[in-house]
Structure 1
Amino acid sequence: MDIDALLKQMTLDEKIDQLMQLAAFLFDGASHEGEITGPLSDLGISSQTIHNSGSVLGGSGAAEIKRIQEAHLTTNRLNIPLLIMADIIHGYKTIFPHNLALSCSFDPELVEETARIAAKEAAVSGIHVTFAPMVDLVRDPRWGRVMESTGEDPYLNSELARAFVRGFQGQDIQTSKDSVAACVKHFAAYGAIEAGRDYNTVNMSERELREVYLPGYKAALDENAQMVMTAFNTIDGKPCSGNKALMRNLLRDEWGFNGVVISDWGSIRELIPHGVAENEKEAAALAIEAGVDIEMMTSTYVSHLKELIKEGTIEESRIDESVRRILKLKQTLGLFENPYRFLDEDKAKDVIFSEEHRLVARRAAEESIVLLENDGILPINKGDDVGLIGPFAESQDLLGPWSWIGDKNDVETLAMGIKKVFSKPISISSIQSVHAIEQEELVSAIEVAKKVDTVILALGESSDMSGEGGSRSKIDLPEIQLELLKKIHEVNNNIVVVLINGRPLDLTHVTPFAKAIVEAWFPGSSGGTAIARILSGDKNPSAKLTMSFPDTVGQIPVYYNHHNTGRPLDHNNPHNRYVSKFIDGPNMPRYPFGYGLSYSSFEYSELELSQSVLRDSKTLYVSVKVKNTKERSGDEIVQLYTRDHVGEVVRPLKELKAFKKIHLESEESKTVTFAVTEEMLRYTHSDLTCYTDPGEFTVFVGTSSANTIEASFKYQIESEEK
């Protein structure tokens, strides 16, 4: 297909309409049953605009998408196919643990595998583009969308961003079978919104933006992600969808991104309430000049771009460049040759939600579940008398937000999983709501707790308590669940709390009453069996937190890689008032980044550096001995951090630089070796250049960011030695 030749055949109206994305229910052939998110307002568009529209949001299954594309090709004058896009966030029909949970596996290969399966199921259903991965770095668990993120660390976020893109797109988006184009979002720094309140303001220096928040997006684009979605927030006072410095100067000119940029739902029109555009016409001008190619679900482009060109406010060449990028993506995906790409209704029956995919979902859940506390009560003997109590005992609400095509009726509940794994029948007392308990439910729960050896108390958040629009000012469990925990503890103190939730929680009122706490997140389609296998010891937990759990909400934001202050807390002199601390609680989170327990126990020793000085072009090798001191074999995620002691600007106390997952049999030891290079030590200086300062560094290796052993080395520029 000659894109330029096609572009010349298009009228200005047809070109502008290519920049419009509409929801599937507006198109001929739609079943009108698709789930639509976001505010829907009067678009004021004609049927002709729909016929010329360039892309579709949503569409429920292969049959509907095929009908929509067929109808579109009969009404579009130039037979330009639609791009079919959808939110395939953590699975299509087979739902995996949400992204924050998956990240706790510290396993890029597993993340890639889950994205590959999601792509296969989506592609065979007719989807061309997924609005994923979300790589927004997050330090505030009040934000509901933390469940879509991969946590608080720039390095891990970048590694997992690459993995998601490889999984969705395959080795080569043009030739890989059963692939979908990845759309990295939300550009940029959406995870830094003030107070964790969705759609709120972001305010930070450009230096911090570049060093902490941009690396994840850049990593996804380096892996050839085909699209970028704008964020709802402002940066430096300018909303991202109209931010020319961000979208055109940085993304396109500096980074060289030539792919498609799409607005988030309605975000171009939202330039008006933001206060940077007086009306839709100004909003359209700001967005197109910023380089936003596709407008999602508002109509400022189709209503005003033609007038803006006529009056000379914008050049038609701006429209042409956006249309060219959209047509180029369609060409890359082979849609001109085959508008249905990998769509196959017959194949879909065998591929979607297959047994093979469900087994991967179970494994992903097992690798994502974090053991937070264990006073020797876990694992539970399969022959013990066990009681299962709580709002998630038999709940099918294990998929979590953004499980669009996922069906709760397909979910393996916790009760189902325990019945499958445990050899002895269990007693079950279900609570129907996460916010309320009927008197008869409470009586039943207490009676069950009285007669069993161990209580598994399944508590947490319903899926609508997190996700988009799910910000919370308080992040503890609902009060009624805490009361249930206390009541059960009065009659049986052998309590294992299993948490189902989408964010780090304040567990202040849980830990005193639980002998074990299992963070299961929203574990997905096969979550019940995965949790049961952890509880029984069939699977030894190995996951580590990628986002800190605060000791109290008043600490937020609390994260491991924070800066030192001029008056740092001195743990040897805790009564000194005039240091940076709270007078009514600790500085440190309850559970820090990298933390997670196991049924094994790992001892670190013999940390050795290959040399005491690292020079420019050389490599410093860091080795450590790790021993499993328990009778159970297990997996350990060995983490390496560094600290730059003196920088041109203040440096973090610790920064994750590498990690390795190892397996150790009982009493087995292994030496783990990491390679450290100068490039790993670089940081963004005040003039926005990136390089390493000579001087002293500490390297830390351990089982979490707060539990490490350390050694020191110096970095020296080779030219300064001569």
Structure 2
Amino acid sequence: MKTRPVKPSASRRNFLSGLGLLALMGAGVFPMPATAETARAVQRHRQRIEDLIAAMTVEEKAGQLNLLADPFRWMPTAVNPLDGTGDPARVTALIREGKVGSLFNGIGAETGRRIQQVAMEESRLKIPLLFAADVIHGLSTIFPVPLAEAAAFDTHLAYRTARAAAVETAASAVHQTYAPMVDVARDQRWGRNVEGAGEDVLLNNLLAAARVRGFQGEKGLDDRDAVLATAKHMAAYSGAIGGVEYNTTDMSEQTLRGVYLPPFKAAVDAGALSIMSAFNDVNGVPASGSRKLLTDILRGEWGFEGFVVSDYTSEQELVAHGFAEDGRDAARLAFNAGVDVSMVSGLYLEHLPSLVASGEVSMARLDEAVRRLLTTKAALGLFDDPYRGTDPVREKAVVGSREHIALSREAGRKSVVLLKNDNQLLPLNKSQKIALVGPFADDVDNVWGPWTIWGAPERRVSLEAGFRAAMTDPQALTVARGSGVETPLDGGIEEAVRAAANADVIVLAIGESQKMSGEAQSRTEIVVPAPQQALVDAMAATGKPMVILLRNGRALALEGNVKNAQAIVVTWFLGEQMGNAVADVVFGDHGPSARLPVSFPHKSGQQPYSYDHKNTGRPANPDLPIEEYKARYRETTNTALYPFGYGLTYGEVAYGPVEMESNQMAWAGTLDVAVTVTNQGAHVAEELVQLYIHDRVASLTQPGRLLKDFKRVTLRPGQSETVRFTLNARQLGFIGEDNTYRIEPGLFDLWLAPHAQGGSAAQFRLVGPA
């Protein structure tokens, strides 16, 4: 077989060098900002930064790298319980002494100004503080959780919601967000699936870039509406063994580089100037102590020139890992590995001076880290205007604006996935008598989703409120909880049966609470809790048609009468406008257009599972119920109940055969492929046509399918449209045994299909170079 490895794409340094920015930055001494505008902001303060570094004591340098929780502005202890709200007097004293460089998870323009005044008027060197916060899916206006938004398969939507979040964040005296999370997640037991973009590498890459650009904007980081994006958690945090939070990861170099690292590279290429290191160890080396990850790959291979911040005490946790002897040793290892800023632990402030004095940490390394942080502050415009974002009038005008609320509703309805719709039960008639049943029927405490800190409770819209607002006669809606989320309610099922008695249709709002998803919320069984399952069974016994509305932050294994309901809708956690967004889809004002970014398994025991698994030497036939001596479980096939990319519309879309201009692709050429899709239904349909490939024979075994592109098309009833793609050789490569990206000639399968288990394959051959 002829093989030809292909070098990785040019680093961002090389790209920007072509724009002449290296010269602007003074021979590359300074970290490279993302835009020419940002470069100019930094250039104005180049000499000032060098003068500051020369003037700083070692203690003050360590202080710049010390990140503490903001004790002055409201921060709920549930977010960071180890630190609580801190001691304002102590932190004020540290700021005066130049021993704090950044604060996090406090918001508010007016108080932000007062805090900054301490640094600018009472400290020796008057270096502005950097304010950061966990703005994951909205500040005050809460948008769908990232996993839900990933279901929209819409990079422009992800950009717009991140942009709106950035506008509110920047106006609240916050300069940096700890988002986006770009961890590819393939084990649905892991709780933090909810913060990411699902199981596919391409979708993660695209949304990582879109969210970085949305947070940072297009005008430069010193623009008043920009916030610094932080891609997290580097790396392989989501590959935890058993799906257990904070657990170890152990994987091949090819998997690390081919699955878990690409979204970080995409974020860096999009201009992210901050990276957060991870809690986990990777093949025995804790990520926050890994020079390979944080220096050799991140900086050496990718040309990243921003700063790395630890996750919450992750550098201190090198001791518990058994990788460091004590706090001093942990500070040495993490800092020399490439972690520039220490979050909360105080280890850098405490130990860097003595580590430099002993020669265990070089002064050059210390100056490098300080320079990275100061340059980022300059890029953010903080040396020009240390009080940016501290105008209470602007804060009031943009936070929770009417436009942002409307965007939340739009994003919510675009994230709803229709899994099942037997006999066209949906959309519901607004004049029907409806029994809305389940723990989330009238609930407002679980509409935001995890990692919501500063949302406005008064704006939360329940399903009941959304349904009543949409129905012709709001009194035709009967509501009964019937069950708690994880515990039964006394008389709850009986109440639900009475509510269903006079209804035309039962709508069951069931699933997970927001406390069941997110950090530290791993589950052994990813099923609907037993009390809710019992409620569904009782509703099924009434014989009435049932619509299941799933509230969830991960894929679920659906069982029994939940699985057998006539209609199933995945509603995730859609943010503050959840009730309105779901009603928009359920009643047909907007058709469902989202697709699954994660595979819904037949059984919990299939985890970890992703659609792009390999065939193995003994592939199982999914059409056979029992097949021994094949790669499968006894109880189920090696498939998903609802696969990645799956989702129905209210139309009925039929696919024609794959059309190819040729059955060969030249090594330096392209291949045009197309499929004609037809809406044979009575409703408008938004179809997501997905392009998958499979490399038949390669030097390393390859996944059975890989997503390479997708396009959305809107079809009126009876309308046909030909959807075209252009495939190039670059899309056909993989990480080889030598850990470099390579492309190999040979035969490929290609699908243009509605999901990862659909369609019929066509074949083409990539012809090797002459």
**Structure 2 residue 750 is matched with structure 1 residue 699:** yes
Counterpart for residue 526 of structure 2: 475
Tell me the distance in 1 between the aligned counterparts of 2:198 and 2:349: 38
Amino acid at match of 1:661: R
Deviation at 1:512, TM superposition (A): 4.6
Amino acid at match of 2:52: L
Map 1:240-639 → 2, pairs under 5 A: 240-375=287-422, 376-396=424-444, 397-424=446-473, 425=475, 426-431=477-482, 433-571=484-622, 575-639=626-690
Tell me the distance in 1 between the aligned counterparts of 2:557 and 2:293: 35
Q: 1:40 aligns with which of 76, 79, 83?
A: 83
Q: 2:182 aligns with which of 93, 118, 135?
A: 135
Point out the more displaced range, 605-614 or 649-658.
605-614
**Structure 2 residue 69 is matched with structure 1 residue 23:** yes
Tell me the distance in 2 between the aligned counterparts of 1:675 and 1:507: 37
Offset from partner CA, 1:605-627 (integer Å, 9 cap, x none): 14211122111221100111011
Deviation at 1:571, TM superposition (A): 4.6
Deviation at 1:367, TM superposition (A): 0.7
Contact 2:545 2:566 survives alignment (8 Å): yes
Tell me the distance in 2 between the aligned counterparts of 1:618 and 1:81: 52
Point out the more displaced range, 266-275 or 371-380.
371-380
Tell me the distance in 2 between the aligned counterparts of 1:574 and 1:499: 28
**Structure 2 residue 745 is matched with structure 1 residue 711:** no
* Percent identical residues: 40
Offset from partner CA, 1:338-362 (integer Å, 9 cap, x none): 1122332112222111121111111
Counterpart for residue 215 of structure 1: 262
- Structure 2: tracts of 5 or more residues without a match: 1-44
Map 1:643-662 → 2, pairs under 5 A: 643-662=694-713
Deviation at 1:510, TM superposition (A): 4.1
Contact 2:222 2:379 survives alignment (8 Å): no
Deviation at 1:433, TM superposition (A): 3.1
The 3 A distance-change label for structure 1 pair 572 and 588 is: closer
Tell me the distance in 1 between the aligned counterparts of 2:508 and 2:84: 43
Counterpart for residue 15 of structure 2: none
Tell me the distance in 2 between the aligned counterparts of 1:559 and 1:30: 42
Amino acid at match of 2:200: D
The 3 A distance-change label for structure 1 pair 597 and 202 is: same
The 3 A distance-change label for structure 1 pair 343 and 674 is: farther
Contact 2:58 2:353 survives alignment (8 Å): yes
Deviation at 1:46, TM superposition (A): 7.5
Offset from partner CA, 1:364-421 (integer Å, 9 cap, x none): 1111011111112111111111111111111112001011111333201101100111
TM-score (norm 1): 0.97
Counterpart for residue 54 of structure 2: 8
Contact 1:486 1:513 survives alignment (8 Å): no
Q: 1:105 aligns with which of 152, 164, 167?
A: 152
Counterpart for residue 3 of structure 2: none
Amino acid at match of 2:452: S
Contact 1:696 1:714 survives alignment (8 Å): yes
Point out the more displaced range, 488-497 or 550-559.
488-497
The 3 A distance-change label for structure 1 pair 608 and 46 is: closer
Amino acid at match of 1:49: L
Amino acid at match of 2:324: A
TM-score (norm 2): 0.91
Tell me the distance in 1 between the aligned counterparts of 2:622 and 2:159: 42
Amino acid at match of 1:613: Q
Matched residues, number:
716
- Aligned residue for 2:754, secondary structure, equals strand
Counterpart for residue 240 of structure 2: 193
Contact 2:483 2:493 survives alignment (8 Å): no
Tell me the distance in 2 between the aligned counterparts of 1:185 and 1:68: 27
Deviation at 1:513, TM superposition (A): 4.6
Tell me the distance in 2 between the aligned counterparts of 1:46 and 1:108: 40
Amino acid at match of 2:434: V
Deviation at 1:577, TM superposition (A): 1.0
Tell me the distance in 1 between the aligned counterparts of 2:182 and 2:388: 27
Deviation at 1:539, TM superposition (A): 1.2
Contact 1:493 1:514 survives alignment (8 Å): no
Tell me the distance in 1 between the aligned counterparts of 2:508 and 2:344: 43
Point out the more displaced range, 437-446 or 145-154.
437-446
Tell me the distance in 1 between the aligned counterparts of 2:511 and 2:239: 25
Contact 1:493 1:513 survives alignment (8 Å): no
Offset from partner CA, 1:159-212 (integer Å, 9 cap, x none): 111100111011143354401010000001111111111100010011111111
Contact 2:278 2:288 survives alignment (8 Å): yes
- Aligned residue for 2:414, secondary structure, equals helix
- Aligned residue for 1:517, secondary structure, equals strand
Contact 1:393 1:431 survives alignment (8 Å): no
Query: Cα RMSD between the aligned structures?
Result: 1.7
Tell me the distance in 1 between the aligned counterparts of 2:92 and 2:173: 23
Deviation at 1:460, TM superposition (A): 1.5
**Structure 2 residue 129 is matched with structure 1 residue 78:** no
Contact 1:604 1:709 survives alignment (8 Å): no
Deviation at 1:430, TM superposition (A): 3.0
Q: 1:49 aligns with which of 77, 94, 100?
A: 94
Point out the more displaced range, 228-237 or 73-82.
73-82
- Structure 1: tracts of 5 or more residues without a match: none
Tell me the distance in 2 between the aligned counterparts of 1:491 and 1:259: 61
- Aligned residue for 1:590, secondary structure, equals strand
